[in-house]
Structure 1
Amino acid sequence: MKFIHAADLHLDSPFLGLTGLPTQLATQVRHSTFVAATKIFDRALAEHVDFVLLAGDLFDRAEQSVAAQAYLFDQFARLQAAQIPVVISFGNHDYATDQHQLVAYPANVTVFGANVTTTTLTLKSGETVAISGFSYPQRWVSDDVLAAYPVHAATDWHLGMLHGAVATGGANDHYAPFTLEELQQKHYDYWALGHIHHHRLLAENPPIVYAGNPQGRAINETGVKGAYLVTSHDHRLVPEFFPTAVMAWETATLTTTATTLVALGQDLTTWLKAHPAALPTLTALTITTSQVLAPEEQARLATWPALFQRTQRAALQAANRYFVRLVVAPPKTTLVAPELDQTYWEQGAAQVFTATNVQTVFGKLAQEPSLAAWLAQVTPAELQEAANQRLVQRERGDEPDVP
């Protein structure tokens, strides 16, 4: 048996907050989720897989564009022509609405409903495969849905599909929370997970696998992106990751002794030559100076990043990079505190500056597109550093006025 497990295609991702990109790169970014998804369907055809599992968030939002719906219809039709079934569960981004019923998918497609159900496939080899799953009926599913999943059926294989997150026991368990023990108690042969945008093997026997997303969409979605080709060996299922992204995201740092913007640009050009990227890479670079720039240099700092990108296009193109964020930070300063105070500060910061807490603090503010775009570009570590620098400024008495 051979199948593909993919998730979180996020077709129609708006890529908010990316302004000033070269025209060709901007077009590539807008189309990237579609191109990456096509690589999955191409691989399914090339490998002659028995079926394809898509574990949620095929679309970026519940209101899908005509283009995105038509694209998936065409891809499913390609698989139908090759007699390859597709099994779908919708997630928290594309939760099941009436819009999913506007066009009937080809006959090879099975879509799970709001309740956990099981579909059974009979493969060309004669093997039988039971697949259990469900689709989100609304954006949040806080209940423990695992109780509704049946135990291993009387089939050769039983697979589970789940778009969710490992339970934390807190108030923010909104995404079909589960524990590894619950999954393992079902005695399935494979769990195809979605929701987390980084591919990850939670357990090996049986494989409990997050496919991650095929294409990174923001600076917090770094790393290799793709899907899994899963093959049976001696009645075991072995997942093999394969990359699909057409562009990458990366955060980086550069420490320099430059005291002028001209020298800063020269050091940055040298960094680009030393760090070429394999894929077109949208890069967030923080440059830390070992000395404070002169006041006249600081006065011109606001326009320097844009000027560098325009005048150094050849170097950027040769390195296969474009800076979506280019920040020049002054030398780091720290508060002098008793050892006990510093220990409490570090422990508190580790507990406060987490992705979950950031989402909780922003709450409904994150539903506003511009704020959501900014939040997608910043990491908890960067927020912690900003808070630290603000405390330093307050201690010195030079905290900037806030209107």
Structure 2
Amino acid sequence: MKFIHAADLHLDSPFLGLTGLPNSLLADVRQSTFTAATKIFDQALAQQVDFVLLAGDLFDRAEQSVAAQAYLFQQFDRLNQAQIPVIVSFGNHDYLADQHQTVAYPANVTVLGSTVTTKTLTLRDGETVAISGFSYPQRWVTSDPLPDFPAHAATDWHIGMLHGAVATGSADHYAPFTVADLLGKRYDYWALGHIHHRQLLNQEPPILYAGNTQGRAINETGEKGAYLVTSDHGQLHPQFFETAAVDWATATLDASGVTDLTALGTQLTTWLTAHPAPRPTLTALTVTHLALTASDLASLRQGDWLQLYLRTHARQLKAAQRYLVALTPAVASQPLAAPQLDQQYWDQGAQTVFTSENLQATFGKLAQEPVLADWFGQKTVSTTLQQQAEQILAELMGEEDHDAS
């Protein structure tokens, strides 16, 4: 048996906020989710797989464009001509309740419904495989879906498809599950979606996130792609293959000795020459050990200097295949000192304010936007917000001390 496990294609991602990129590159970036997805279907045909699993969030938004729908139909039809079945589940970005699909998919496509169902396939070699899963009926699925999954069927193989996240015990919005419960089903493979970084949760049987096929923002760095899964002596072996057309990366530039923006530009150009990328890479650069004047630092923080650099060094950027989307001066973190505010009261207040419940309530209706909800659900967000609040407070108190003097 041979199949492909992919997830989180996010067709039609808008890639907002990218400024200063060459027009041709910007066009490639906005087309990149389609370019990456095409590599999945090309691989399916080249490998003559038995079927393809797409585990949620094929589209970036519930309101699917005509271009995205037509593209997916065309790709499914390519597989249909080769008699390759496709099993689709929709996730929290393209949930069923807001589907506006105006085209019927080819006969080889099975779209899983809002309740757990099982599709059974008989493969070319006579083996049988059961595939169980469901599509999100609405944006959030807060209950554990595992009780609705059947036990291992009387087939040669049984595969589970699940677009969800490991349960944390609070504010679980995405089909929460435990690895123990997945193992309890005795399936031969779990094809997971929703987490955009590929992760292996269990070796045997394989329980893994394929990750998304194309990074969409600076927090989606690393290799992006899908898995080609093959059987051998009663076990399934996933092999990752890359699909991304454009990479995202973070890097650090040591600017020791740099005291003005001209010198910074020279050092940055030297860094680009020494760090070429294998494909177009959108890079956020943190610059350390700067010794700039206040006005130069302000220009750097506001982005004015970076925009000028991008326009005047287009040739060097293209040669290195690196395109700077952010240039951030690193500021040494300082402990919060509160000469006019009792430190004890700040600490007590922080413990009260920065609770998950209070942050959730403050976030309010913003959680209705899927992209913001996904960001807010990340484990590091609470810590980051508190650190930023402490930094702002420290700066404000520093200004007070300066005014008082």
TM over 0.5: yes
CA contact (8 A) 2:20 2:311 kept: no
1:137 matched residue in structure 2: 137
TM-fit CA distance, 1:310: 1.0
112-121 vs 363-372, which deviates more? 363-372
1:310 matched residue in structure 2: 311
314-323 vs 208-217, which deviates more? 314-323
CA distance in 1, matches of 2:371, 2:237: 42
Give a deviation string over 1:250-287, Cα, whole Å, max 9, x none.
12222312111111111111111221111211111121
Map 1:321-360; keep pairs closer than 5 Å.
321-335=322-336
CA contact (8 A) 1:290 1:331 kept: no
2:37 matched residue in structure 1: 37
| 1:165/1:392 CA distance change after superposition, 3 Å | same
1:108 matched residue in structure 2: 108
TM-fit CA distance, 1:13: 0.5
- The letter of the residue matching 1:185 is G
241-250 vs 311-320, which deviates more? 311-320
- The letter of the residue matching 1:44 is A
CA distance in 1, matches of 2:399, 2:65: 52
1:390 matched residue in structure 2: 392
1:195 matched residue in structure 2: 194
CA contact (8 A) 1:16 1:369 kept: no
- The letter of the residue matching 1:191 is W
TM-fit CA distance, 1:366: 5.5
- The letter of the residue matching 2:205 is P
Q: Does structure 1 residue 218 correspond to structure 2 residue 220? A: no
- The letter of the residue matching 1:211 is A
TM-fit CA distance, 1:97: 3.6
RMSD: 3.1
TM-fit CA distance, 1:19: 2.3
218-227 vs 356-365, which deviates more? 356-365
User: Structure 2: 5+ residue runs without aligned partners?
Assistant: none
TM-fit CA distance, 1:21: 1.8
365-374 vs 266-275, which deviates more? 365-374
Q: Secondary structure at the match of 2:16?
A: coil
Q: Does structure 1 residue 159 correspond to structure 2 residue 173? A: no
1:242 matched residue in structure 2: 241
1:253 matched residue in structure 2: 252
- The letter of the residue matching 2:2 is K
- The letter of the residue matching 1:326 is L
User: Structure 1: 5+ residue runs without aligned partners?
Assistant: none
Q: Secondary structure at the match of 1:45?
A: helix
Q: Does structure 1 residue 150 correspond to structure 2 residue 166? A: no
2:174 matched residue in structure 1: 175
319-328 vs 80-89, which deviates more? 319-328
TM-fit CA distance, 1:323: 1.1
CA contact (8 A) 1:353 1:383 kept: no
90-99 vs 274-283, which deviates more? 90-99
2:122 matched residue in structure 1: 122
Q: Secondary structure at the match of 1:125?
A: coil
Give aligned pairs, total. 390
CA distance in 1, matches of 2:244, 2:254: 30
What is the TM-score with the length of structure 2 in the denominator? 0.88
Map 1:18-97; keep pairs closer than 5 Å.
18-97=18-97
CA distance in 2, matches of 1:388, 1:299: 20
Map 1:282-321; keep pairs closer than 5 Å.
282-291=282-291, 293-298=292-297, 300-301=299-300, 302=302, 303-321=304-322
CA distance in 2, matches of 1:265, 1:31: 31
CA contact (8 A) 2:279 2:321 kept: yes
CA distance in 2, matches of 1:267, 1:168: 45
